[in-house]
Structures are given as C-alpha cells and as structure tokens.
Structure 1
C-alpha cells in the first residue's frame, strides 16, 4: 500500500516538535500540530483503512464500477471528515497527497488508473472529482 498522507503529517508534527525542543524553531512558527489535530489524523486514518480494505477486496480484474465504488466511498468519507473540521481539514497540499495516495493504492492493487479514467472520459487525476468537496 502507498504511504498514507497522515504518516507524512505526523512526521511533520514530530520534526517541528524536535526543532522547537532543540531551539532551532520558534514555537510560534510550529504550525503542524495545530493544522493536523489528532482528531483529524485519527478520522482520516480510519477512512484510509476502510479504503485499503476495499481495495484489498477487489478481485483480480474488478469492474470499473467496483473500483470507482471504492473511490467514491473514500472520497465521500473524506468529505465528512473535512466537514467535521469546519471545511478546513485539507488544503491544497493535503488534497494532492490524498489524491496521489488513492491513485498509488489503486496502482499497487494492479489497477491501470490511466486506462480506467480514459474509459470514463476522464483525465487520470480526475477520478475523485465528481464526489470531492475538499
């Protein structure tokens, strides 16, 4: 499976905390812990774990509908997480990481995402767009 965006965010929090403790970063410049509260990290991890289970359950040659169903479910759940965090959970960089994670997870499961998107009349990076609100 691809590296979860939440792992990247937790690493950023830890790096900033270490820099503050070492005196190389002003505490007022440490934004990660505030930007990625534990409630957001936990909720996002729960959604990504469910997506990983969905992807693992796809058989050898799943239909486009099966794959897109997994994508739809993860995107709708991420919408709910974003809504629960005042519509501010995922900014541009976070959105890009989440979309790249979805793509990479599908590729790791043997899905040809480019071909899937083409069959749907979409660009590769548009497979989340019809459901995504974040």
Structure 2
C-alpha cells in the first residue's frame, strides 16, 4: 500500500514541532497543528483503513463497478470527514495527496486505473470527481 496522506501530515507536524523546539521557527508561525488536528488525522485514518480493506477484497480482475464502488465509498466517507471539520479539512495539497493515494492504492492492487477511467469516459485523474465535495 502506498504511504497514507495522514503519514505525510504527521511528518509535517513533527518537523514543525522540531523547528519550534530548535528555535528555528517561531511558535506563532507554526500552522500544521491547526491544519491537521488529531481528530482530523484519526477520522481520515479510519476512512483510509476501511478503503485499504475494501481494495484488498477486490481480488484479481475486479469488475469496474466493484472498483468504482470502493472509490465511491472512500470519497463519500472523506466528504463526511471534510464536512465534520467545517468543510476545511482538505485544502488543495491535501486533496491532491488523497486522490493520488486512492489512485496509487488501486494501481498497487493491480487495477489498471487508466483503462478503467477510459472505459468510463473519464480522464485519467477523474476517478473521484463524481462524488467528491472536498
């Protein structure tokens, strides 16, 4: 499985905390804690864990509808997390990481995402678009 976006966000938090502790970053300039509160990280991890389970259950040569069902579920759950955080959970960089993670996870499981999206009349990176609010 590819690296979760939440792992990347936790790394940002740790780097920022280290910089504050070292005195190379003023505490008032530390913003990652506001962007990535524990509740957001936990909720997102829960959604991604369920997604990983769903992807693993797809098996070899899954039907397009099965793959799209997995994508729909993860996107709708991420929508709920986003809404629960005043629709400010995922900004541009976070959205890009989440979409790349979904795509990379499917590819790692053997899904030919490019072929699937082509069969669905979608662009290569549009697999989440029909359900995504974030």
What are the within-5 Å matches in structure 2 for residues 35-114 of structure 1?
35-114=35-114
Deviations 1:78-116 (A, max 9, x none): 000000000000000000000000000000000000000
> What is aligned with 2:7?
7
SS of match in other structure, 1:116: helix
How high is the TM-score relative to the length of structure 2?
Answer: 0.99
Provide the aligned length of Structure 1 versus Structure 2.
134
Deviations 1:16-45 (A, max 9, x none): 000000000011111001110000000000
Q: Which runs of 5+ in 1 are unaligned?
A: none
Give the Cα–Cα distance (whole angstroms) in 2 for the partners of residues 97 and 59 of structure 1: 25
Q: CA deviation at 1:55?
A: 0.2
Residue 33, structure 1, aligned to residue 33, structure 2: yes
Which is further off, 71-80 or 27-36?
27-36
Runs of 4 or more off by more than 6 Å in structure 1? Answer: none
> What is aligned with 1:125?
125
Give the Cα–Cα distance (whole angstroms) in 2 for the partners of residues 59 and 90 of structure 1: 30
Q: Which runs of 5+ in 2 are unaligned?
A: none
